[in-house]
Amino acid sequence: MRRYLFGAAAGVAVWWILSLLINSEIILPSPMAVLGSLNEVIKSKEFYTALVSTVLKGLLSTSLVIFIGTSVGMLMGLKKGLSEALKPFVTLLQSVPVVSWLALAIFLWGIGWKGPVLLTTLSLLPVVIINTYSGVLNVDTRLIEMAKVYGVEKKKVFKYIYLGSLLPFMLASLRITLGNVWKTVLVTEFLCGDRGIGVMIAWARSYVDTPKIFALTLIGVTLAVSFERAGEGFFERVLKRWKLS
């Protein structure tokens, strides 16, 4: 902890020295200016509305990514024909640039909350699909064969063999999603949102208010770290419950 604090303090010191050397608030504002801006931001009512909006979008996108990604990945792993049919779509999803989806979202809904949720979901979905698919392929077929010999019902096989084998992959998916969802939401809000922290950054950019951009970025980072930390505790509890750690 002491080293961590020392590292953070050293980072701030370097930042401060660089801001003195560059001497331009537009390019690199000083830590003091950013703190002042942060103070102003968290005092405003607008910020809390934006925060709630961003958090809701993040949580909705995470739920969609995990639900759709896990289901599609599982189906692809269980049905060979389906996996071959869906693989081109997953590759397409992976390679289509966000701006193309952006145009589609704006034509469909204009600016609002739906566009950022769609764009975030589509950006993170392929990783979860591929991760879950690999998890299903990783299931020990000898265990499935054993269950078949003893005539164990399919529901039990799914619960104890498939889900048990998939759990580490599902947790990894959740970890990846929670780690990336916030920056993706902020970018997509910036591009096609009507409210949220990303939209506040867009406004700050229009007013060339770099300290505010830095302050809002700090809030975004805090949001990501908090959710990742909360997720870590959850992962450890689940792994312990399943005796995998």
Residues that bind another protein (CB under 8 A): 142-143, 145-150, 152, 156, 160-161, 164, 242-244
Rounded least distance, CB 235 to another protein, Å = 15
- For 156, phi then psi, to 5°, come to -70, -40
Q: Which residue is listed with tokens 């809904």? A: 109
In this complex, which beta carbon is closest to another protein, that of residue 21 or of residue 149?
149
In the bound state with another protein, the residue whose beta carbon lies nearer, of 3 and 80, is 80
DSSP readout, 120-144?
HHHHHHHHHHHHHHHHHHTS-HHHH
* Residue among 59 and 172 whose Cβ is closer to another protein: 172
What's the min distance (Å) between Cβ of 241 and another protein? 10
Of 67 and 160, nearer to another protein (C-beta) is 160
- For residue 81, give both structure tokens: 């024909």
Minimum distance from residue 156 beta carbon to another protein (Å): 7
What is the spatial distance between Cα 130 and Cα 137, in angstroms, rounded to a whole number? 11
Q: In angstroms, what is the minimal distance from the CB of 146 to another protein?
A: 4
Q: Comparing C-alpha atoms, which of 210, 186, 214 is closest to residue 198?
A: 186
CB-nearer residue toward another protein: 162 or 182: 162
- Name the DSSP class of 207: T
| Least distance between another protein and beta carbon 111 (Å) | 47
CA 142 – CA 221 distance, rounded (Å)? 45
Q: Which of 124, 242, 236 has the alpha carbon at shortest distance from 176?
A: 124
User: What is the torsion angle, in degrees rounded to the nearest 10, for the CA atoms of residue 93, residue 94, residue 96 and residue 97?
Assistant: 130
The nearest distance, CB 189 to another protein, in angstroms, is: 40
The smaller minimum CB distance to another protein, of residues 1 and 149, is found at 149
